[in-house]
Amino acid sequence: MDSLSINSLLEDLKNPDETVREHATRKLWRIWFKQKGISGLETIDRSQKLLDAGELAEAETVLNQLIKQQPDFAEAWNRRAFLYYSSRKYYKSLADCQKVVEIIPVHFGALHGMGLCYAALGEYGEAIKAFQRALEIQPYSLVNQKLILECTLRIS
C-alpha cells in the first residue's frame, strides 16, 4: 500500500465519525500484519496459537526466528513485545515496542504498549509521554486518555 493511502488512513483516525475511525484502525492493522505477505502472517498466527495455548517459550522461539529472518517486520517485533508484556518482562517488551516505532513511527499499538510497560515499571511520566504520542495519532482513543489520567493521579 502506498504512503498516500496510509496517510489518508491516519487522517481518518482523527475523524469525528467513529465508523470512519474504526475502519481506518482495522485497515492499518491489516497493513501491518500483512507487511511481509502470507508467510509472515501465517508465522504470526502460529505464534499466537502457541501463546493462546500457554506455550510461551515456543511462541517466543517462533517470533525470534521470524525477527531474525525479517528484522524489518514491525508486527513480528510488536507480537513479541506483547508476549514479553504478558510474561511481565517489561524491559524486553519496551525494547521491542521501541523497535516497532523505529520501523513504523505511527504504530499506535506499540506506543500504547510502551506506555503500558512504563506504567508497569512505575515510570508514570514516561508512560504519559508514550500514551500522549499514541493520542497524537488516535486522538479519540478513550483507553489512552484514561491511562493518562490514571498515571497522572499516581504522580500527584
| Phi–psi pair at 35, nearest 5 degrees | -55, -35
User: 14: part of which helix (H) or strand (E)?
Assistant: none
Per-residue pLDDT, averaged over 123-137, amounts to 98
Q: Give 81-119 pLDDT, tens digit per residue.
A: 999 999 999 999 999 999 999 999 999 999 999 999 999
Is the predicted pLDDT of residue 59 greater than 80, yes or no? yes
CATH for the 105-156 domain, from 3.30.830.10, 1.25.40.10, 1.10.10.2160, 1.20.1640.10: 1.25.40.10
Among 75, 79, 88, 92, CA closest to 51: 79
What is the SS3 assignment for 111? helix
Q: Domain ranges in the chain? A: 105-156
Confidence class of residue 4 from pLDDT cuts 50, 70 and 90? confident
User: How far is residue 77 from each of residues 35, 47, 63, 147, 154, measured CA to CA in Å?
Assistant: 12, 12, 8, 23, 29
Q: How many CB atoms lie within 10 A of CB 58?
A: 15
Confidence class of residue 133 from pLDDT cuts 50, 70 and 90? very high
Supply the pLDDT for residue 6: 92
